[in-house]
Amino acid sequence: EDIELVSRICKDVKESLENRNGIKLTRVSIAAAGRALKTAKASYAQPLPDGEEITVEMVRNLEYSAIGAAQEIFEKEIENNSGMLFQCVGYSILQYYIDDYNISNLEGHKGSEMKVDIIAAFLPFSVVKGLYSVTARCELEVSNLTLEPIAAINVIVPPDVRLLNIAIADIGAGTSDIAISRNGSIVAYDMA
């Protein structure tokens, strides 16, 4: 909440890392925390060109369309609230489908329709703007932004272990982040 204080601490850490490693840091990845975390689930389906293999770009476009659908669902849910603006800060794939058949990876397959189910996370725009303000004061460009529970489970729990239907709790000084997996997918996350 104190951008100036956080900026000073980040600058100290950045300078320490640069001096120790003899490099200049210019880019940063952010794993955001936020007590006002909101999530929305959405699906998006897209017809496939006849006989054409699914490419990485096609999958990426499918996912981005699902994020757009989640944003629309989310905005309808908070319509009557305080009018706060929110931004998507991360998402997880719940399931991919090809012709209504569950599949773990769409790339390279052929069919008539591909579909994805996702869960997307949203934080108040003011929180995201504050993070970018800190990084700008530290002369760092943001490479990517995600949510702390998404980052934690992706770093700590390999995809095959997520089949065990587990929860991970990352207990920190200000927030505790929780991510839950079921059948190999991250199905929920929250912060306390």
C-alpha dist (Å) from residue 188 to 63, 67, 79, 166, 191? 17, 15, 22, 11, 11
pLDDT in tens, 94-144: 999 999 999 989 999 999 999 999 999 888 888 899 999 999 999 999 999
Residue 79: predicted pLDDT? 57
pLDDT in tens, 160-175: 888 888 888 888 777 7
Residue 82: predicted pLDDT? 61
Q: Please enumerate in sequence order all residues whose Cβ is within 8 A of that of 101, keeping only pairs 6 or more positions apart, or say none.
A: none
Residue 172: predicted pLDDT? 79
Residue type, 77: E
Residue 114: predicted pLDDT? 96
DSSP, residue by residue, 137-154? HTT-EEEEEEEHHHHHHH
88 neighbors 33 (Cβ within 8 angstroms): no
